[in-house]
Amino acid sequence: MIIDCHGHFTTVPKSFRDWRAKQVEFADDPVNAPRIREGRITDDQIREGVGGGQLKLQQERGSDLTLFSPIAGLMSHHLGNERTSLEWAELSNDTVYRVTELYPDNFVPVCQLPQSPGAPPANSIPELKRCVEELGFVGCNLNPDPTGGYWTGKPVTDREWYPLYEALVELDVPAMIHVAASCNPNFHGTGAHYLNADTSVFMQVLQSKLFEDFPTLRFVIPHGGGAVPYHWGRYRGMSLEIAERPLEEMFANIFFDTCVYHQPGVELLTKVIPADNVLFGSEMIGAVRCKDPDTGHYFDDTKRYVDAIPSLSEADRHKIYETNARRVYPRLDARLKARSL
C-alpha cells in the first residue's frame, strides 16, 4: 500500500471559499455573519471537487490512500477572531470528514485546529478531541504561527503549548507542522512562509528539551523539512554546541515528508535522513500545479521521484510508502487493520 501523508481538500467549490470570505467580513458582526449551515456543501459538490482532482490524480499516479486535511492556506488563523476560527475549523473538518465517508478507501481525515493569534493553544483541545474521538481523525495540522507570517507569538516549545501536547500524547496522534497563508508581504506563502516555518520549528525544538518532557510526542515536518536536511551539518553542529546532545536523538520524534519537487532534492533527503523518518507525501493538488518543462511531468508527482532513487532499497522504499505512516499515525494503522489491510 502507498500512503500519502500530506493531502488537502484544495478543490473545494467556490461557494465554500465565498462563505469563508463573508464570515471574515462580518467577523465583528455576529448578528449578520453567515451561519455554519450555510457553508455546508453538497455531496455532489464534494464528488465533483475530489473526483476530478485528488482522486483522479491518486489513481493516475499510483498511490492508494491519502491523509486528507482542510486547505492549509485557507486555515488563515490570522483572519477574524477566536470565534470565527472555531466555526471555520468545525466547518472545514466536517467537510473533510464527509470526503472520507464518501471515499473511505481513498482518504483518511486529518483536522485543522481553531487557533487564533494570542489565544492559548489549549483552547484548540476540544475541537481536536471532537475530531479524533467522535469522527475518527488520525492526526492534526498545527500552525506554529497563527499571525500569518509575523511570528509575534511564542515558540512551539514554550510551556503555553504544553496542554495541547498533553492532549496529542493522550490521543496518540501526531501533529504535522503546517502554517497557513502569509499576510506578511515579505514572505510568499508557499515559497517562503511554509519553508521558513518548517525550518524554524525544527530549530526551536533543537534548542529545547521538549521531547524530554514529551518523549512520545511526534511532529511531521512537511515540505521535505524546509532547509533542515540540506544543511544537516549545520544543525548537527548547533545541536552539539547549544543542546550538548547528538541531533540524531530527535529521530524518535521528528519525521519528514517527500514534498520536494525535484529528483535531486528527494534523493538528498533520503541520503541525509534515515528511511525510518521519511514519509511519502505529495501535497497534491497544492503548492505547484504545473508541469516541469524539462521532464513533461507534474512537479507534485512525487512518487515518480521516490521510485527513481537508485540507492534506495526495496525495504526502505516500503517504509517510506507505508510502514512509517502506520507507525507515526497509530490510529491510521488501527483503522487499516480493522479492514484487514
Query: Could you read off the pLDDT of 79-129 as tens digits, one per residue?
Result: 999 999 999 999 999 999 999 999 999 999 999 999 999 999 999 999 999
pLDDT of residue 27: 96
**Does the annotation count 283 as an active-site position?**
yes
Q: In which region does residue 311 sit, left (phi positive, over 0), alpha (psi from -120 to 50) or beta (all else)?
A: alpha
Do the beta carbons of residue 126 and residue 85 sit within 8 Å? Answer: no
Rounded Cα–Cα distance for residues 255 and 56 (Å): 28
Kindly tell me if the per-residue pLDDT of 219 is higher than 90.
yes
Kindly tell me if the per-residue pLDDT of 131 is higher than 80.
yes
* Cell numbers standing for residue 98: 464527509
Overall average pLDDT of the 54-75 stretch:
96
pLDDT of residue 154: 98
Query: Could you read off the pLDDT of 1-60 as tens digits, one per residue?
Result: 999 999 999 999 999 999 999 999 999 999 999 999 999 999 999 999 999 899 999 999
pLDDT of residue 324: 98
Q: What is the mean pLDDT of the chain?
A: 97
pLDDT of residue 138: 98
Q: What percent of the chain lies above the pLDDT cut of 90?
A: 98
pLDDT of residue 273: 98
Kindly tell me if the per-residue pLDDT of 305 is higher than 80.
yes
Q: Is 102 exposed, middle or buried (0-12, 13-18, 19+ CB in 10 A)?
A: middle
- Of 23-27, 259-263, 283-287, 293-297, least confident by mean pLDDT is 283-287
pLDDT of residue 16: 97
Query: Could you read off the pLDDT of 270-291 as tens digits, one per residue?
Result: 999 999 999 999 999 978 889 9
Overall average pLDDT of the 325-329 stretch:
98
The catalytic residue among 127, 267, 283, 322 is 283
pLDDT of residue 223: 97
Cβ neighbour number for residue 295 with a 10 Å cutoff: 12
Overall average pLDDT of the 184-204 stretch:
97
Residue reference for cell 544543511: 231
Do the beta carbons of residue 164 and residue 212 sit within 8 Å? Answer: no
pTM: 0.97
Q: What percent of the chain lies above the pLDDT cut of 70?
A: 100
pLDDT of residue 286: 77
Q: Please tell me the total number of residues recorded for the chain in this structure.
A: 341
